[in-house]
Amino acid sequence: MLKCNLIRRALALLALVFVNAAYADVVVIVSAKSPITSLSADQVSKIFLGKSSTFPNHKPAYPIDQQLGSPVRDEFYEKVVHKDASQLAAYWAKIIFTGEGRPPKLIVGDKAVVKTIADNPDAIGYIDSSALNHSVKAVLVP
Amino acid sequence: MLKKFCLALLLSSSAGISVAMADQNGVSPDNTEVSAVTDQTMFEFGSYGTVGATHASLNSADFALDAPMPTGAGRSGYLSPSNNTLIAAHVNATFTPDLTAIFQVISEYNANGNYRPEVEWANVKYAFTPDLDIKVGRFALPTFMDSENHDVGYSFVWVHTPFELYQQMPTMSVDGVNAIYHFSMGEAENTVKLIAGQNTTETAAGIVNSKNMRGIFDNLDFGQATFHLGYQTRDTSTQSELAGLNGVWVAASDLTAGLSYDPGSWFFKSEWLQDRTQYKTNAMYASVGYRIDRFTPYLMHSQSSAASAYDNALPYLNMAQKSNSVGVRWDFMKNFDLKMQYLHITLGNNSTGYLVNIPDNVSLSGKTFHVISAVVDFVF
């Protein structure tokens, strides 16, 4: 009986650890008002690299970046776009200095990103999943 | 005219100025205010450049990286800074979300043997729809996959773009009109560019004039792969007393194809060109690289054929050569990289390759030599 309890407690603890780990993950979000329900990593990647200016439903898409060097940004670009900070800087050097486009708008911090995206059905961003609330929805959990 | 227009743009407003690369790097103030996602700064300034030195194991000629350079490393000196050293200043202007302009001035070693700044790009772009843009002014001729950014060393892995290929087309810009149409095909993104215009390029061999330039270029992004196809025609003439070229207009056409695959931890890139005038020349390169943390070691093979004459055309200056290189890019700090490269070149029979400053009595046929380069690239 005691053994059983111990195992149950250990499992509960393990579950908690896993849940916590999951909550430290980046999620890609759009406004709760947006008709978009899910996106593939490839679709998100194209929007953030400026290769596509629209969502798959042909509505305009405005990507929002977080601060360079922030863990959430590094995780997003590693998992979704498969580029590290210097690869990304090299990529944008090509685009900017040929006038072909400009990098996503920068908004600092999960809270500010959530607030901006909640108010803009055309915006798309990424945050730590712990900052999720009812005003936005996750469309990709990489 | 273009210069005046762009200077007027620069001076006309002090509104919203920022640094182009700094925006991307998150230097903006920490504010938590909600701002409209479409807000854009009107003027963004940026700069890029390269500082470097090259050594070539030659004493009877100079190794020069670009067609306009009159001297380089070798006969003129054990080490040459001129091959790899340049600086550019850039401004992006956003007047409305649909109306934008760019102006870029570059200072690099030129045909006159100095670093006098020249206008690299100056154009106004209007977006008729989110998928259709028209550019008017001076813009890049997108012959190759890195034509538009060939001077931005920070934007690619190598020390320089493969010159056996890129020197086939010394004309890098067009004064004219460029229509850019973008569309999706399932999972793929496709961009078609149509260009029309003219150009004058000063090279070490003489002044190359191009008129009636027409071209269609297609870029297809599919997953981690990019495909590039291009076809262009023009009338061209080279005015050079040195080479005995008298400026006769010749019809020329170029067919280009390229492929790049970059899943993140490694890359493969290869391009090919066939240039047709009275002669036919082929050129290509293939390169692979592997990323280990901040280091990207790479290998490249590059070659250009001798120009083969159609019918009874006269023999032509032969530039056939092959090269193999090994190098590494090190992203040692934010916005800077350091690159080192060893390049081994073999000239074809009766070929002088892309060497310059060759004395009359020297034969370089079949010669092999090496070039060692070290450069630092930066962007701001």
pLDDT digits (tens, 9 = 90+) for A88-137: 999 999 999 988 888 999 999 999 999 999 999 999 999 999 999 999 99
- In chain B, which residues have their Cβ closer than 8 Å to the Cβ of A105? 35, 37, 39-40
- In chain B, which residues have their Cβ closer than 8 Å to the Cβ of A69? 26
Output B29-32 pairs: Cβ under 8 A, ≥24 positions apart.
B30/A67, B30/A108, B30/A109, B31/A108, B31/A112, B32/A108, B32/A109, B32/A111, B32/A112, B32/A115
- Which residue of A53, A106, A120 is in closest CB contact with B23? A106
- How far away is chain B from the Cα of A137, in angstroms, using its nearest Cα? 18
Measure the CA–CA gap between B368 and A13, rounded to whole angstroms: 68
B10 vs B151: which has the higher pLDDT:
B151
Contact B156/A90, CB-based, under 8 Å? yes
Contacts of residue B337, Cβ cutoff 8 Å, sequence gap at least 6: A86, A90, B153, B154, B329, B330, B331, B376, B377, B378
Give yes or no for A5 touching B (CB within 8 A). Answer: no
Contact A108/B184, CB-based, under 8 Å? no
Contact B155/A108, CB-based, under 8 Å? no
Please report the sign of the dihedral spanned by the C-alpha atoms of residue B11, residue B15, residue B17, residue B20. Answer: negative
Q: Give residue A46's Cα distance to chain centre.
A: 13
- Inter-chain contacts counted by CB atoms under 8 A, chains A and B: 136
User: What is the CATH number assigned to the segment(s) B53-81+126-379?
Assistant: 2.40.160.10
How many CA atoms within 13 Å lie on the side-chain side of B175?
Answer: 12
B55 close to B375: Cβ distance less than 8 angstroms: no
Q: How confident is the model at residue A75, as a pLDDT?
A: 94
**pLDDT tens, residue by residue, A41-62:** 999 999 999 988 889 888 889 9
Residue A5 above 70 pLDDT? Answer: no
- How far away is chain A from the Cα of B39, in angstroms, using its nearest Cα? 8
Name B270's bridge partners: B259, B286
Output B209-212 pairs: Cβ under 8 A, ≥24 positions apart.
B209/B236, B209/B237, B209/B238, B209/B239, B209/B247, B210/B171, B210/B234, B210/B235, B210/B236, B211/B235, B211/B236, B211/B249
Give yes or no for A67 touching B (CB within 8 A). Answer: yes
| Residue A130 DSSP class | G
Whole-number CA gyration radius for chain A: 18
- In chain A, which residues have their Cβ closer than 8 Å to the Cβ of B88? 97
Angle at A133 between CA A132 and CA A139, to 5 degrees: 55
Confidence of residue B8 (pLDDT cuts 50, 70, 90): very low
Measure the CA–CA gap between B233 and B210, rounded to whole angstroms: 10
B84 close to B159: Cβ distance less than 8 angstroms: yes
Give yes or no for A68 touching B (CB within 8 A). Answer: yes
Measure the CA–CA gap between A92 and B154, rounded to whole angstroms: 10
Q: Which residue has the tokens 């250990």?
A: A10
**No. of helices (H) and no. of strands (E), chain A:** 5, 5
Share of chain B above pLDDT 90, in %: 54
Give yes or no for A100 touching B (CB within 8 A). Answer: yes
Q: Which residue has the tokens 């100079």?
A: B62
Angle at A76 between CA A70 and CA A77, to 5 degrees: 95
Give yes or no for A113 touching B (CB within 8 A). Answer: no
- How far away is chain A from the Cα of B47, in angstroms, using its nearest Cα? 8
**pLDDT tens, residue by residue, B316-372:** 567 889 999 999 999 999 999 999 999 999 998 878 888 888 888 878 888 899 999
- How far away is chain A from the Cα of B95, in angstroms, using its nearest Cα? 14
Measure the CA–CA gap between B38 and B97, rounded to whole angstroms: 8
Say what the ipTM of the complex is. 0.84
Give which of B9, B19, B24 to mutate to test A binding, by max A Cβ within 10 Å: B24
Name B178's bridge partners: B135, B195
Q: Where are the domains of chain B?
A: 53-81+126-379
Minimal-distance CA residue of chain B relative to A70 = B26
Class in CATH terms, A25-140: alpha beta
- Which residue of B25, B35, B187 is in closest CB contact with A42? B187
**pLDDT tens, residue by residue, B181-192:** 999 888 899 999
Q: How confident is the model at residue B375, as a pLDDT?
A: 95
Name B235's bridge partners: B211, B251
